[in-house]
Amino acid sequence: MSFNLREYYTELSKGDVILAYKGSITSELINDVLEAIETKLEETNTDSRLRKKIYNVLVESLQNLFHHIEPHHEGITEDLDPKFGVVVIEHEGDSYKVTTGNFVQVKRIKFLKEKIDKINSLTKDELKDMYKFILNHQRLSPKGGGGLGLVDIARKSGNKLEYAFYNYNDNYYFFNLTINV
């Protein structure tokens, strides 16, 4: 396979890492990560506005993983935990970097890429309008997802969303999303 999960994770874990996790993305895991980060951010005396932004970005990106990762990936030969995902949070100078990773089926890539490219092309005001439009017009899915997560992440971070799709096999790619806060 062209994409090596182990190498990817090792590479990602270099740098000033505050938290690194690979495994099942469950509700409990999300609670644990949020709690750990809150404590860490308080310890480092990070500015409260930045703390809130990081926390918000984390909530949304983790809950995106939670809502969108399939419990089992058919056709992936590696021994993966159900609802497998990766999350790494790093400190970079005055800012923070949140990276999430998960397997996505080939058929979903086009939609995802178009959505992120669209979000990245918008100005601050256009993003606000997009958020309000989706908020007001789109129904929540039965699982509670609303189509707002990426838009909200982009608004809160104030930066472009960085992403990459790594080819894993015929059916799956690995989707890497990096958010600079």
Partner 1 sequence: MEPISIESTPKTPSIKFLPEEGVIEIRGRSIPENSIEFYKPLVDWLEVYAKDPLQKTQVNIQLEYFNTSSSKCILDVFKKLEAIHKSKHDIVINWFYEEDDEDMLEAGEDYESIIRIPFKMVEIVD
Q: Which helix (H) or strand (E) holds 99?
A: strand 95-105
What is d(CA 31, CA 156) in angstroms, rounded to the nearest whole number? 20
Task: Specify the stretch interacting with partner 1 by CB under 8 A; choose among 7-15, 99-107, 110-118, 141-149.
Answer: 141-149
Nearer of residues 64 and 99 to partner 1, judged by Cβ? 64
Q: Where in 159-178 is the site for partner 1 (CB under 8 A)?
A: none
Question: From the CB of 117, what's the least distance to partner 1, in Å?
Answer: 20
Backbone angles phi, psi at 107, to 5 degrees: -65, -15
Which range, of 14-22, 57-65, 73-81, 109-117, touches partner 1 by CB under 8 A? 57-65
For residue 138, which amino acid is it?
Q
55 binds partner 1 (CB under 8 A): yes
Among 21, 66, 172, 174, which residue sits at the site for partner 1 (rule: CB under 8 A)?
A: 66
Residue 82, both tokens: 């159900």
How far, in Å, CA of 160 to CA of 137, rounded? 25
Per the CB < 8 A criterion, the answer to whether 97 and 178 are in contact is: yes
Pairwise CA distance, residues 75 & 89, whole Å = 29
| Measured distance CA(154)–CA(10) in Å, rounded | 26
Kindly indicate which of the ranges 5-13, 83-91, 109-117, 124-132 contains the residues binding partner 1, using the contact rule CB under 8 A.
Answer: 124-132
State the minimum distance, in angstroms, from the CB of residue 45 to partner 1: 15
DSSP state of 74: T
In the list 59, 106, 112, 122, the residue contacting partner 1 (rule: CB under 8 A) is: 59
Residue ranges in contact with partner 1 by CB under 8 A: 27, 30-31, 34-35, 48-49, 52-53, 55-56, 59-60, 63, 66-67, 128, 131-132, 135-136, 138, 140, 143-146, 148-149, 152, 156
